[in-house]
Structure 1
């Protein structure tokens, strides 16, 4: 072969090698960003560096739990000038209790203007450190901006309480936030072991099968199929303007992720398949809570998903 043919081939090979190196460096950069605030190689471990109820951690909040408009992964009490405040540091065990909190803005004043998201101005979540006892509530707000969340009975242990909202004015207008604080519930805590990763879950006679192979830091599609007695379910009713609401929490640090539904709502005959846009910032086990409604009754199914 003549020299004039060999030279272009060497140039092409060099260009290909350069492109491959560029992609590799980009992938490494993405992985580093997704682990900000924690050692991403320590997924699944208990991180004692979690923020205190009154503190904030921009380093932790810089790592989103979902690739959506939400700011932060829910592990900080403050972000971008907005802060979740509360005087409560403990809640009683074994009985229902109200949890009162407020959101203050960059000016230090309590925020009273919130945009409606999935039919509500505030979504509130509670979960124990072992990822048990999940509650999803919609608190009420007083005129001064104080919110009251009516929690069902809590078991002893440490609980993280999340507020998910979008300001309707000010510097954060139109930006979704997830902030959280922790509270102690006195008594002897009896931690539960996290169930093994599984693609199926059952609740109230329904079986949910979740398919998808999400990778940390990458957008993926998850599909949930609902059946009952082996037959496809096609009578799902709208719940919060969708046929299913899916929330997830990371086993290692309780990072929050809200998986947005892609299935369009069309009357009271949703199902059997539901699709979600999912993007998890960290690898490891995530506990998923899928809520759906049939015949006016709300069902909550839970399963553990392994994210690579």
Structure 2
């Protein structure tokens, strides 16, 4: 009896060991799956690895500019050794003016080699700090690396000048930056209250409606529909390789965000619905500026969006 019980005990011990090993493998697998479930896009503007970005939105593969996601909120004049410099600290009120600046690289020299982003080597934005003034222009660069942004009439107050760029050489090659500096426009600097959050607005006879429940720090789809005289618009023309260009600025600090289009461009018959990939890092009110083109004319619609 004693000798016959030893094989049984040995088999039971081996079975227990096997069960323990299987349990360890299961626990290890659970641990690894927990890491991969983190929400993509939590770091606004940073370039996500391919697996994460591919799961952030069903239509991410259609996005014409997802490889151009600017790093950070743009509230600094320097990042990773690149600096936005300018001698212009003030600009005149009530008339056209040129803002001149340069981008200095880590080697201390002006950067002159830039990659195209949505058909342009540089996107430049002027935004009044109360978010009631907005201009988006494409400056020109001289041979020495000095840029000139021709701005329309500016209202008195404090303005922030944003430069969105991608070096095409050097240590920052292929990396997208948004750098900014502030400028004062002399005169009455009374702030204008920001319009209340709304889901629709009107510009040049068009009605623009925005849908999407956005949460700070999370990737969400945002849809925009455009109508005129109560009828859906289907004649949107390509503008900067897309049917609409959408930027947003945060109330209080004017932090910058570019909402990336996901709708494919198929000729001069875009609309009425447009889709965007939205990653707004901070809760509060954001002022959205949507630019779209019809009949060769550019329209700019603005509305306030609340982000929870």
Corresponding residue for 1:132?
132
Unaligned runs of 5+ in 2: 1-22, 45-65
Q: Aligned partners of 1:265 and 1:291: how far apart in 2?
A: 15
Q: CA deviation at 1:68?
A: 6.1
Corresponding residue for 2:52?
none
Report SS of the residue matched to 1:170: coil
Q: Does 1:303 align with 2:303?
A: yes
Q: Does 1:257 align with 2:232?
A: no
Q: For residues 244-294 of structure 1, what are the alpha-carbon distances to aligned partners after superposition, in whole Å with 9 as ceiling and x for unaligned?
A: 000000002100000010001011000000000010010000000000000
Q: CA deviation at 1:176?
A: 0.6
Corresponding residue for 2:10?
none
Q: For residues 75-129 of structure 1, what are the alpha-carbon distances to aligned partners after superposition, in whole Å with 9 as ceiling and x for unaligned?
A: 0000000000001111111111110000010101000000000010000000111
Corresponding residue for 1:115?
115
What does residue range 181-260 of structure 1 map to in structure 2 within 5 Å? Answer: 181-260=181-260
Q: Aligned partners of 1:112 and 1:291: how far apart in 2?
A: 28
Report SS of the residue matched to 1:270: coil
Q: Aligned partners of 2:275 and 2:184: how far apart in 1?
A: 36
Q: Aligned partners of 2:229 and 2:238: how far apart in 1?
A: 22
Q: TM-score, length-normalised on structure 2?
A: 0.79
Q: Aligned partners of 2:184 and 2:134: how far apart in 1?
A: 16
RMSD (Å) for aligned C-alpha atoms: 2.1
Cα 1:209–1:67 change in 2 (3 A) is farther
Q: Aligned partners of 2:145 and 2:132: how far apart in 1?
A: 29
- Runs of 4+ in structure 1 off by over 3 angstroms are none
Contact 1:219 1:278 in 2 (8 A): yes
What does residue range 1-308 of structure 1 map to in structure 2 within 5 Å? Answer: 69-308=69-308
Unaligned runs of 5+ in 1: 1-10, 35-65
State the aligned residue count.
255
Q: For residues 191-235 of structure 1, what are the alpha-carbon distances to aligned partners after superposition, in whole Å with 9 as ceiling and x for unaligned?
A: 111000001010000001100011111001100000001100000
Q: Aligned partners of 2:193 and 2:75: how far apart in 1?
A: 22
Contact 1:249 1:288 in 2 (8 A): yes
Q: Aligned partners of 1:267 and 1:94: how far apart in 2?
A: 38
Q: Aligned partners of 1:91 and 1:292: how far apart in 2?
A: 28
Q: CA deviation at 1:70?
A: 1.2
Q: CA deviation at 1:189?
A: 1.3
Report SS of the residue matched to 1:259: strand
Q: CA deviation at 1:132?
A: 1.2
